[in-house]
Structure 1
Amino acid sequence: MLAWLGMMKYQVEVTTHAAYCFNVKGKIVPYFKDKGILLEELQAKHLQDFYLFVLNKYKITAHTAQKYHANIRQALQHAFRMDMIPSNPADKVDRPKKQQFNGSYYNIEELNQLFEVVKDDPLELGVYLAAFYGLRRSEIVGLKWSAISFQHQTISIRHTVTSISYEGKQIIVEKDRAKNKSSYRTLPLVPAFFELLKRLWEEQQQNRALFKDSYCYKYEEYIYVNKLGDRIKPGYITQHFPIVLQKHELKHIRFHELRHSCASLLLVNGVSLKEIQEWLGHSHYSTTANIYAHLDYNSKVSSAQVMSNTLQVPIKQKAPEPSQGQVQELVHS
């Protein structure tokens, strides 16, 4: 697998290769090396045992186990094409079944509480963008002033900034495109954000004048920067968010679950899953449906009402209770 991993370095993006390295070097190779199983000896049962092992020992999700399976199958397929093995044993394995997503999220009251406590905190902008627009962390950090049209009152998601651990180093990856084609989207700039972004623009101009040579101009095209002009790091958001929640005794959720909170509020207020897909930038409708369909109770109520109005189900009426006189008559007859 390490040979396949080295080959893939030149075929996929660095973020993808970093994920492959994490899976292969972290879990897959150590397991089979410890078992002493060689490539030519590998059987489908060995793979099935591996999936059960990581699911039970590390308590990973079936979704993560599926990623391991995808890496293993791809590596074995390469070995098969190179005539190193007669067949691909991964094709005989039952993939771990993905469980229904049951993430945590905030309701409207909890979000309003959160908005209060992050005022003037470096997290403020990130929390607002994640909760209102459902932006991913990489989209928030990657937001540039060129993506904001004050004239047309729009905000465009088209640049991302990601932090990854790769080859023993922590590196920042900037991309002039979003996660996928559907992630590239333009959304309305509502009045509250129009005013917020105008204020941030003015503050940045003031900070440049105030700090002069101490100001970092490297990230001047980015919106999410601190007072000295340094871009907020993706890792800072992830690390600082739970600290803020704990400090103010708010329910623990992950930062990414503000995105789920956004989706749940849209559903509660009658927005369709198709519209939510476009708002969040999911590449496929099935992704949105798989994640959020179980929250869509309103549509089930509407469906039940339609069926009730359409079909008349014959209900057998309960027989009336006998009167006291009828009871006495039956007793003495």
Structure 2
Amino acid sequence: MAASNTLPASVQPKKGRLYAVIQTRENGKSKPVWRSLGLPEGSNKSKVNKAFREVVKQFEEEYAEQLARGNRQPSDIPIFEYMCGYLKKIQQNLQKNTVESYHSMIYGKIRRYFSARSHLTVGNITVKNVEDFYETLYADGVVSNTVIHYHAILHRAFKQAFKDGMIDVNPFDRIDRPKKNKFHGANYSKEELVTLLELTRTDVIYPAILLAGGMGLRRSEALGIRWSRIDWEKKTVLLDTKIVEYKENGKVIVRPEEEMKNKSSRRTLPLPDPVYEMLTEEKEKQDMYRRMFKGSYNRKYDDFVCVNELGELIRPSYVTQHFSDLLKKYGLRHIRFHDLRHTFASLLISQNVPLINVSNFLGHSDLATTSNIYAHLDKASKQASADIMTDILSMGKE
């Protein structure tokens, strides 16, 4: 199949998938560029034709833009410039807070490092160049978990460059992923948690504190609890909404999002009696505030549990800062708000609750995640294993 476009192109199969092979010119010689059609071999002809036209058209637009910039080849694009274009290309498919995170990395440390090394391009960057960048991050005090984020976005970006035929080899395929930091979250004892809950009972973020410490919810999940998701008869709640906070055009945006961290994060949980009682009291309190403030009360978020006296959503960043302020105010040991989730899990495990049950409650994507974080606390399973071996090895002595 030949294209009717400016550049000669055809459809070619490779390893069971279909590609548009577009003939470009480099240094006076023909150079084929392979672009995936996203279809398997044997696909419907009309689908293939449509995908082929779209892929070739997109490439020609990019190719024309590159020629307009001085006949520069795609592989000659400097790293920072390419990463900016990559983000622009993928951002419509990302969550807003993820876009903000990527933007911060690209326009922050990636820009500072690679703009000073403009000779490094998509086509000539080496494994050593990348490792030097990582070493610079470590020298700046960046922890391994953060370096992993830089590695992930760069790896994905160069994977796209490889798919687009800009490079023949992805250098990031030959780089080991940085190792994660070993991290054990701090946690309160049962007595410390009870004291915290008693002292903060009248505070605006008390519902979030109780939901995190009493049910192990993430900050975004606690703030996303909705009245319509509560089954008052069964005493359960469906978690399917989170509150996200990000910047857009210099303005802080806070909004609900019905897209959880992973599939297992969307879950229905039973409500402990103290949480059920708190929700009952909070509902009555909100009704009172609506009557009290009338037209000044924001009715947009009537379905949300965690709102302030005027019905406005509580910002995640406010919860983090205010929680720290509360601990200082009452002279309590400092922990992060997220450590309330660790406290919940640690208390369950200390009561011999199996890790699989804790994992399901926390909404982890798999048991391995829970095990990696809390295995050092799982004394029950270790003792059970020891008891079994005691029984087995004692049989011969009877």
TM-score, normalised relative to structure 2: 0.74
Distance 1:197 1:178 in 2: 22
What residue is the counterpart of 1:11 in the other structure? 93
Matched, 1:86 2:165: no
What residue is the counterpart of 1:245 in the other structure? 327
- Residue-by-residue CA offset, 1:232-261 (whole Å, 9 max, x unaligned): 221210110111111112111110111111
Matched, 1:214 2:296: yes
Distance 2:378 2:173 in 1: 36
- Residue-by-residue CA offset, 1:120-163 (whole Å, 9 max, x unaligned): 01121111000011111111111111011112211111111111
Matched, 1:52 2:139: no
The 1:72–1:257 alpha-carbon spacing in structure 2 relative to 1, beyond 3 Å, is same
**Contact 1:100 1:290 (C-alpha < 8 Å) held by counterparts:** no
Distance 1:312 1:258 in 2: 42
Distance 2:124 2:185 in 1: 40
Matched, 1:300 2:382: yes
The 1:230–1:160 alpha-carbon spacing in structure 2 relative to 1, beyond 3 Å, is same
What residue is the counterpart of 2:314 in the other structure? 232
Instruction: Measure how far apart 1:289 and its partner are.
Output: 1.4
**Contact 1:273 1:289 (C-alpha < 8 Å) held by counterparts:** yes
What amino acid is aligned across from residue 234 of structure 1 in structure 2? Answer: P
Matched, 1:148 2:230: yes
The 1:237–1:273 alpha-carbon spacing in structure 2 relative to 1, beyond 3 Å, is same
Report the identity percentage. 40
Aligned length: 313
- Residue-by-residue CA offset, 1:258-313 (whole Å, 9 max, x unaligned): 11111111111111111111101112222111111122133222222222232259
Instruction: Measure how far apart 1:36 and its partner are.
Output: 3.6
What residue is the counterpart of 1:43 in the other structure? 126
Q: Which residue, 338, 351, 355 being the options, matches 1:269?
A: 351
**157-166 vs 130-139, which deviates more?**
157-166
The 1:151–1:48 alpha-carbon spacing in structure 2 relative to 1, beyond 3 Å, is same
**Contact 2:224 2:241 (C-alpha < 8 Å) held by counterparts:** yes
The 1:257–1:86 alpha-carbon spacing in structure 2 relative to 1, beyond 3 Å, is same
Distance 1:160 1:290 in 2: 25
Distance 2:238 2:195 in 1: 28
What residue is the counterpart of 1:20 in the other structure? 102
Matched, 1:96 2:169: no
5+ residue gaps, structure 1, are 315-333
Q: Which residues of 2 match residues 182-197 of structure 1 at below 5 A?
A: 182-197=264-279
What amino acid is aligned across from residue 15 of structure 1 in structure 2? Answer: N
Distance 1:289 1:166 in 2: 37
**Contact 1:48 1:94 (C-alpha < 8 Å) held by counterparts:** no
Aligned-partner SS, 1:218: helix
Aligned-partner SS, 2:335: coil
**Contact 1:141 1:161 (C-alpha < 8 Å) held by counterparts:** yes
Distance 2:105 2:262 in 1: 22
Distance 2:107 2:117 in 1: 15
Instruction: Measure how far apart 1:63 and its partner are.
Output: 2.1
Aligned-partner SS, 1:311: helix
- Residue-by-residue CA offset, 1:183-233 (whole Å, 9 max, x unaligned): 111111232222221111111112212222222212111111222222222
**Contact 1:101 1:290 (C-alpha < 8 Å) held by counterparts:** no
Aligned-partner SS, 2:301: coil
What residue is the counterpart of 2:113 in the other structure? 31
Q: Which residue, 213, 219, 228 being the options, matches 1:137?
A: 219
TM-score, normalised relative to structure 1: 0.88
5+ residue gaps, structure 2, are 1-82
Instruction: Measure how far apart 1:118 and its partner are.
Output: 0.7
CA RMSD of aligned residues (A): 1.9
Distance 1:214 1:173 in 2: 20
**Contact 1:156 1:184 (C-alpha < 8 Å) held by counterparts:** yes
User: When you count strand as a share of all residues, which structure comes out higher?
Assistant: 2
Matched, 1:121 2:194: no
Aligned-partner SS, 2:299: coil
Aligned-partner SS, 2:281: helix
**301-310 vs 195-204, which deviates more?**
301-310
Instruction: Measure how far apart 1:41 and its partner are.
Output: 2.8
**Contact 1:161 1:174 (C-alpha < 8 Å) held by counterparts:** yes
What amino acid is aligned across from residue 221 of structure 2 in structure 1? Answer: E
Instruction: Measure how far apart 1:166 and its partner are.
Output: 4.2
- Residue-by-residue CA offset, 1:45-70 (whole Å, 9 max, x unaligned): 1111222221232232x222111111
